[in-house]
Amino acid sequence: MPIEGFDYKGFAASMAEQAKELVPKDLQDREKEYIVKTLGNFTLLAGEALYNDTQLNLTPEQAVFITQIIAEWSFHKSIDLIHSGILPQYWDSIMQKIAFTIFEVAKQAVIRKIPQDQLLQAVEHHVIKVYKSSIEELEKKGIIDEEIKNRAESQSNIDAMAKQAQEEQMRQKQAAAEQAEKNLEEAEKRRAEKRKQRSIEKQKASMPQGITNKQMKLMTLALVLKILSQDKVTTILNKFDSNDSLAISQYMNMADLESHIDGDLISGCLKEMKDFLPVKRKLTKENVLGDLLRIYRSTPREKIEKIVKNERPLVKRFLAQAYDGEYSDLPLRVAGIVAQYVEDSI
């Protein structure tokens, strides 16, 4: 009884249509047609043979699997032949040997219930063997020379496509990492802007009546200068214009200066001034890990995990590995932003 549910004609047509989208763009139209036609014919013949074989008792899934293997290898080896330099009149005989070999090896492997990975390895081994022996036979007959033989044997479209897929995957990962870095930078800018705005609003709300923001900063600076030596004070005051320098000197001479300024306002002004001071700290893996380990020692892990629960998996993985003192493959600039974000969020 034929395999119920196995539409080999529809499957062969579907594989041929897919092949049209995958053929290399650099090939000529007749070469593209050959690839699609060869794949379609071998897939149809193999499917029909399996469908009508009442002794095999294959399931529709097994029949599709065998037929698909033939379609895929027909695609890759026909491309290899085209790139080899061998004349077109010799392609069919080689492809027929390859298709027959795949059909028999795959069919027997399925019957014997060999694991799928071993089946695929066996098919690949025999395909390469038949392809190589066919090329060597052409050389022995004087149809091709050694140069074409070597070129033909070096062709491997299946490896080329695998490499291309791997490179594309790497490009996607890199693009994702760059996008993550950009998102983190934009998020950090927004957080910094919010922190600055909150600080300004707090200062405005707490500022004593009649004292401007500039006066508050001059008073704060006067508090700092009161603990410095006279030489340093003079050097600093000389950098201000005469009006500001005079105001700072007057504030320094106020015995109760501290009582005119709220403690939180002093801290805010000092922090704001600090933000404008140049601070050079080299961004290294060691510094980033050190900052995170310092945070980890004083903050429960559950709290940090809650902070980053909505972040990307690569950020979570980076923070998890940092607990063990390990640095993952996160770009260093992104790692620095992540560490600062965690510290600011605690």
Which of 19, 135, 31 is closest to 83 using CA atoms?
Answer: 31
Q: Quick one: pLDDT at residue 207?
A: 43
- List own/partner pairs for 230-235 with CB under 8 A and 24 or more apart: none
CA distance 63 to 109: 12
Q: Quick one: pLDDT at residue 263?
A: 62
Cα–Cα distances in Å, from 154 out to 54, 80, 103, 142? 40, 9, 24, 19
The pTM assigned to this predicted structure is 0.50
Cβ–Cβ < 8 Å for 308, 299: no
Virtual torsion, Cα 316, 320, 323, 328, nearest 10 deg: -80
Cβ–Cβ < 8 Å for 3, 63: yes
Cβ–Cβ < 8 Å for 251, 219: yes
Which residues touch 265 (CB under 8 Å, ≥6 apart)? 203, 206, 207, 216, 220
Q: Quick one: pLDDT at residue 99?
A: 92
Q: Quick one: pLDDT at residue 277?
A: 47
Which of 303, 302, 301, 292 is closest to 327 using CA atoms?
Answer: 292
Conformational region of residue 112, where left means phi above 0, alpha means psi within -120 to 50, and beta covers everything else: alpha
Residue 112's φ and ψ, nearest 5 degrees, are -85, 0
Q: Is residue 66 classed as helix, strand or coil in its secondary structure?
A: helix
pLDDT tens for the chain, residues 1 to 346: 578 788 989 999 999 999 998 898 888 999 999 999 999 999 999 999 998 887 888 889 999 999 999 999 999 999 999 998 899 999 999 999 999 999 999 988 988 889 989 999 999 999 999 999 999 999 998 998 889 889 888 888 888 777 777 777 888 878 777 887 888 888 888 888 888 777 666 555 544 455 677 777 787 777 778 777 888 788 888 878 888 888 888 888 877 776 666 666 666 666 665 554 444 567 888 888 888 888 888 888 888 888 888 877 888 888 888 888 888 777 888 888 888 888 878 7
Q: Quick one: pLDDT at residue 252?
A: 82
Cβ–Cβ < 8 Å for 79, 152: no
Which residues touch 77 (CB under 8 Å, ≥6 apart)? 94, 95, 98, 127, 131, 157
CA distance 190 to 271: 18
Cβ–Cβ < 8 Å for 341, 288: no
Which residues touch 19 (CB under 8 Å, ≥6 apart)? 35, 36, 39, 40, 71, 75
